[in-house]
Each structure stands twice: as C-alpha cells, then as structure tokens.
A = this chain, B = another copy of it.
Amino acid sequence: MSLKIAIQGIRGSNHHQVAKDYFGEDIALVECLSFDSLVDHVLNRRADKGVMAIENSIAGSIIPNYALVYQNNLHIIGEHYLNIHHNLMVYKGQTMEDIEEVHSHPMALLQCKEFLKAHSHIKLVEAVDTAETAQRIQREKLHKIAAIAPKAAAQLYDLDIIASEIQTITNNSTRFIVVKTQNKELPKTEINKASLRFVTDHKRGSLATVLNVMSDCNLNLTKIQSLPIIETPWKYAFFVDITFDAYDSFEKAKSLLHIMTEDFRVLGEYKNARI
C-alpha cells in the first residue's frame, strides 16, 4: 500500500512537488485545504505523514505552523528545500491583455510583487492555494483570470503559461518539514539537525547564556525566532534550529538546556537537507 501523504493544497501545488521529491512517485496524496486540516489528517491517521511549509527566504517563518507542530505534539522527521518558480497561467488562448484579475496564495502574490506592479491593470485576489485557481480556471473555463502557480499545475490542468519565472527574487527557496505523530527511529549517526523550543524569562542575558551553552557544545545555530508568550508577559518562547556533527554533542546540550530553560522540547531530530 502506498504511503498516505497529507499536503496543504492540491495536486500540482508546491507541496505536491515536495511530497514527490521527498517520498517518490508512489504515494497516495491526501489534499488538504488548510494546514489545520492537514494536521487533523495526520493526528487521526487518515495520513501517515504530512508535508508543510515552515519558512521562506522572503517572507520568513510561518509562525502559525510552528504553533501547530508544538501544540499538537507532532514530530519533525525531515526537511526539504524547494526553489519556488512562479508562472502566470491562463485558459487556452487568453493573452496578457485579456487578464483582469490574478488569483493566488498571498505568499505567491508577495513573491511576484515587482512583476505585478509592472502590470498594474491586473487586480490581485488572494486565494487559498496556488494550484487550486489553476484547476478552477480549467473546470469553469474562466476567462480574464490568471493563476500564479508551478509549471506542473499548467500541465495538469491544461493551461497556457503566458509569463514564466515571474518571482521577484530568483533565488526563492522555501523550507518544508515532514511531520508525523511519532518520532521516526532514525539511526543517531544520520541525525545532524534538530528543531527546539524553549522558554526563558526576561532577565538580562538569559538568551545569551543559552546560546553560549549551544556554542560550547559545538552546535551551529541556523535559525532563531522569538515569540512573546501571550498569557505570560515578559516570558519569551524561542524556536531554534541547530546543526551538529556529533549526536553526542547534541545530547549533552539537551541535558543542559533541560535544566537551564523552561518547557524545553525537541520538536524533531532529523537529517539536514542543506549541505
């Protein structure tokens, strides 16, 4: 039986691409129209694993997704980076002059800002998913409306690409994580990256002390993000990603951070996808 992989979005979306890159072609895709629904599917075992975007080189972290992982006790068992390519696609035969509206995910609209500025007669409409509009254009034979979506969506839904690679920054990389209800039993020798969450108080230098310990244990910080804890003023939660060469170093740091911080949790231990 194929592995059931939940993605945000539908066939032809960037999440679909990541699922194929990571798991291969032999998967049963579970299309979810929100990240909440994706998490529900994983928790209720209607999917074996889930793929979700977690940060983007232009827009930064998708904090609500960090919160979903944390609050639902999901484990990050892997990561994948995808270079995002945005393409403007339309119903067969339509041209740039015909287009009155472009529909796409807010993140995609943001990432094509400069291109869209240069075609200011086109109205921007936010949509739930990049590929979903492509599908709808074909199904409802929509004229005057363009989608911004990956090339795969144009092939899948038989649309014409009238402008390709329209993203503002060409090196537009998005990081995705693979989540599961239980931690995957990866051999310790293969683990060289981890995602952590911990809380420190507002005392001067408390974060510096934590980072010193990490540095002493030979951990490299690849990401840090503070988030005030809403219910508790003056406390901060930190989401931190680290890479390391030896699992032993990480284990030592873990036992120290358990003592030094509050609510210390390892959100996942996995293999670094970026060498």
Residues of A within 8 A of B (CB): 36, 57-61, 63-64, 67, 106, 110, 113, 117, 126-128, 169, 171-173, 202, 204-205, 207-208, 211-212, 214-215, 218-228, 230-231, 238
Contact across chains for A224 and B221 when beta carbons are under 8 A apart = no
New A-B contacts (10) at CB < 8 Å, excluding given A202-B222, A211-B211: A60-B63, A60-B64, A60-B227, A126-B128, A171-B230, A171-B231, A172-B230, A205-B212, A224-B226, A225-B225
Residues of B within 8 A of A57 (CB): 227-228, 230
Chain B residue, CB-CB nearest to A110 = B64
**Is B60 touching A225 in the complex (CB atoms < 8 A)?**
yes
CB distance from A26 to the nearest CB of B (A): 32
Contacts of A226 in B (CB 8 A): 221, 223-225
**CA of A192 to CA of B99 in the docked complex: distance in angstroms?**
51
Instruction: Report yes or no: A204 in contact with B220, Cβ–Cβ below 8 A.
Output: yes
Q: Enumerate chain B residues within 8 angstroms of A218, measured Cβ to Cβ.
A: 204
A215 to B208, CA, bound (A): 7
Pick 27 A–B contacts, CB within 8 A, sort by A.
A57-B230, A58-B64, A58-B67, A58-B230, A60-B225, A60-B227, A61-B61, A106-B106, A106-B126, A126-B127, A126-B128, A169-B230, A171-B231, A172-B230, A173-B230, A202-B220, A202-B222, A204-B218, A204-B219, A205-B212, A207-B211, A208-B208, A208-B212, A208-B214, A211-B211, A224-B225, A224-B226
A60: chain B residues within 8 A (beta carbon): 60-61, 63-64, 225, 227
- CB A114 to nearest CB in B, in angstroms, measures 10
A59 to B227, CA, bound (A): 9
Complex: how many Å from CA A240 to CA B153?
39
A207 pairs with B225, CB closer than 8 A: no
Q: Which partner residue on chain B sits nearest A35 by CB separation?
A: B110
Complex Cα distance, B205 from A214, in Å, reads 8
Residues of B within 8 A of A220 (CB): 202, 204
Nearest-Cβ distance from residue A172 to partner chain B, whole angstroms: 7
Q: Pick the contact of A208: B106, B169, B211, B223 (CB < 8 A).
A: B211
Residues of B within 8 A of A59 (CB): 63-64
Point out the residues of chain B lying under 8 angstroms from A113, CB to CB.
36
Interface centre among A208, A219, A231 (most CB of B within 10 A): A208
Report the minimum CB–CB distance from A235 to chain B (whole Å). Answer: 12
Assembly CA distance A231 to B110 (angstroms)? 18
Give the chain B neighbours of A36 by CB distance below 8 A: 113, 117
* Nearest-CB residue, chain B, relative to A171: B230
Which chain B positions have C-beta within 8 A of A228? 57, 223
